[in-house]
Amino acid sequence: MTYDPLISRGVSSMLPAPKSYWHATHKVPSVPPLNKKINTEYLVIGGGYTGLSAAITLAQAKQDVTLLDANSLGFGCAGRNGGFILSGSGRLSLSAIEEKWSHKVAMGMQGEFDGAVDLLKKRITDFNMQVDLVDGPYLKLAHNVKQAEQLCASANRLASNFNVPSTPLSSKDLTTRFGIKGVYGGVELEGACLHPLKLASEYARAAKELGAALFYDSPAICIEKQKSGFLVTTPNGSVSAKHILVATNAYTPKRFHDSVDNKQFPVQSSIFVTAPLNDEQRALTGLTTPVSFMDTRMMKYYYRVLPDGRLLFGGRGAVKGKDANNATEKQRLYNAMIKSFPALKGIAMDYFWSGWVSVSLDSMPRIFVESETSGNSVKRDANSIGYAMGYCGSGVSFAAFAGQRLAQRMMGTSEVDLSLPIYQSPLKTYPFSKARRLALHGLYQWAKIAER
């Protein structure tokens, strides 16, 4: 049974944890469910990176904070992602942001993206988090001449216009420096990787140590506005809260709350992990060092070698949740891997899983508070509801940063530059929401032909 945010009524606590490599190599701590009525100042709904980070920020500010998650730790993207730490979120390049708004906005956004990586690394150090952090470059690879030219131009623009360290690579550079053959060029950016589920466990530990009350296997079924604050019901308890932070991202149920309903498009991404590569396979593929890769095919594929020598390979998943584990979906992704690494033909696929990423209509995430007054602060006595979501598949660092920003915004701290577009307006509502999947199916069919 797979959770499908556009069809299922909500995340049930009975759904099994994903059969991911991350779950196979790390046992998450069990956190008890909510079995009573409680009161809290701030209620965070959703216990992935966004929610846990918001809880950490609120607890660090000595606020009374409670967090509910519908399932076990890491049920959402936190237990399913590739673990690539990238400086960025959403799907717009800095040049596109500059074109749409201004150079100042693009620089402001880059500041937030870099701030997200810094926050993640600072917390890893401050809380002594054991998350298998590995630094290594992030390479974007071009599979035709045109893409190679575009990548080279964008690398030069990133460095000169936005001060982002980025180095264009020729196909010869790629072969001599990284042992990569068969691509037309690329770009080297800064990168790092970690074990995403261990990160979720460590965030939960930090939040608990700071005094946040965490409850898992406790889906918020209903959010009711009361005279003063909100009443949130779970199967065996309820929470009266003054403020609510919605951190359910792509796992947000179909009809949950007006502020988030139809505001994002959950799209599946799938990953498989191979058996460990032998020395010959490593030498033939160039997969010998901790490098993260993304290629520039229309349907982007991402991959990295794991610390135990396996290859993690990811890309788009099935359109519908019920098809997530179909043999054809697995084969399609496997074939894409063989196209990049013919030497791996026949290698076993030891793990396969999928997860939902939250795609916003304008390709930008939002951190937004509904009942906020204008200016840089919230009414201290107002009952506010806010959310952070829409990271478009890029949230290992940014989701936690967005959770921090959401908490800061709810508390009315002045650290958030509210002039940036991600804080200025709510997520846009999808028109013709029922046609979203049809359009996605059409796009995938077209890409299949274009990529032949």
Residues making contact with ligand FAD (CB under 6 A): 10-11, 45-51, 68-71, 75-78, 80-84, 86, 219-220, 247-253, 269, 271, 314, 355-357, 391, 393-396, 399
Q: How far is the CB of 152 from ligand FAD (least distance, A)?
A: 24
Burial class for 300, CB neighbours closer than 10 Å (0-12, 13-18, 19+): middle
Determine the Cα–Cα distance for residues 45 and 236; give it in Å rounded to an integer. 16
- Choose between 54 and 152: whose C-beta lies nearer to ligand FAD: 54
Determine the Cα–Cα distance for residues 77 and 152; give it in Å rounded to an integer. 32
Q: How far is the CB of 321 from ligand FAD (least distance, A)?
A: 12
- Choose between 148 and 399: whose C-beta lies nearer to ligand FAD: 399
Task: Name which of 395, 397, 404, 407 is nearest 369 in CA terms.
Answer: 407
- Choose between 32 and 342: whose C-beta lies nearer to ligand FAD: 32
**Phi and psi (nearest 5°) for 8?**
-65, 155
Q: How far is the CB of 43 from ligand FAD (least distance, A)?
A: 10
For 320-358, b/e burial (b = at least 16 CB within 10 A) is: bbeebbeeebeebbbebbeebbebbeebebebbbbbbbb
Task: Name which of 243, 420, 452 is nearest 339 in CA terms.
Answer: 452
- Choose between 168 and 219: whose C-beta lies nearer to ligand FAD: 219
- Choose between 253 and 412: whose C-beta lies nearer to ligand FAD: 253
- Choose between 33 and 182: whose C-beta lies nearer to ligand FAD: 33
- Choose between 185 and 390: whose C-beta lies nearer to ligand FAD: 390
Determine the Cα–Cα distance for residues 198 and 182; give it in Å rounded to an integer. 35
Roughly what angle, to the nearest 10 degrees, separates helices 196-209 and 103-126?
Answer: 70
Alpha helices in 142-252 (DSSP H): 145-162, 171-178, 196-209
Q: How far is the CB of 117 from ligand FAD (least distance, A)?
A: 10
DSSP secondary structure code for residue 426 in this structure: P
Q: How far is the CB of 7 from ligand FAD (least distance, A)?
A: 14
Q: How far is the CB of 398 from ligand FAD (least distance, A)?
A: 7
Pairing mode, strands 84-85 and 65-68: unpaired
Q: How far is the CB of 160 from ligand FAD (least distance, A)?
A: 25
Determine the Cα–Cα distance for residues 218 and 236; give it in Å rounded to an integer. 8
Q: How far is the CB of 271 from ligand FAD (least distance, A)?
A: 5
Q: What is the largest CA-CA distance in the chain?
A: 68
Pairing mode, strands 37-45 and 65-68: parallel
- Choose between 286 and 314: whose C-beta lies nearer to ligand FAD: 314
- Choose between 168 and 315: whose C-beta lies nearer to ligand FAD: 315
Question: For residue 367, what are the β-bridge partners?
Answer: 388
- Choose between 86 and 378: whose C-beta lies nearer to ligand FAD: 86
Q: How far is the CB of 233 from ligand FAD (least distance, A)?
A: 10
Q: Assess contact for 23 and 208: CB atoms under 8 A.
A: no
Pairing mode, strands 265-274 and 349-359: antiparallel
- Rounded to the nearest angstrom, the gap between the alpha carbon of residue 136 and the centroid of all alpha carbons in its chain is 20
Structure tokens at 237: 């308890």
Determine the Cα–Cα distance for residues 87 and 366; give it in Å rounded to an integer. 16
Q: How far is the CB of 375 from ligand FAD (least distance, A)?
A: 27
- Choose between 72 and 384: whose C-beta lies nearer to ligand FAD: 72
- Choose between 238 and 252: whose C-beta lies nearer to ligand FAD: 252
Q: How far is the CB of 389 from ligand FAD (least distance, A)?
A: 6
Determine the Cα–Cα distance for residues 85 and 191; give it in Å rounded to an integer. 6
Q: How far is the CB of 435 from ligand FAD (least distance, A)?
A: 23
Determine the Cα–Cα distance for residues 425 and 173; give it in Å rounded to an integer. 43
Structure tokens at 38: 């409680």
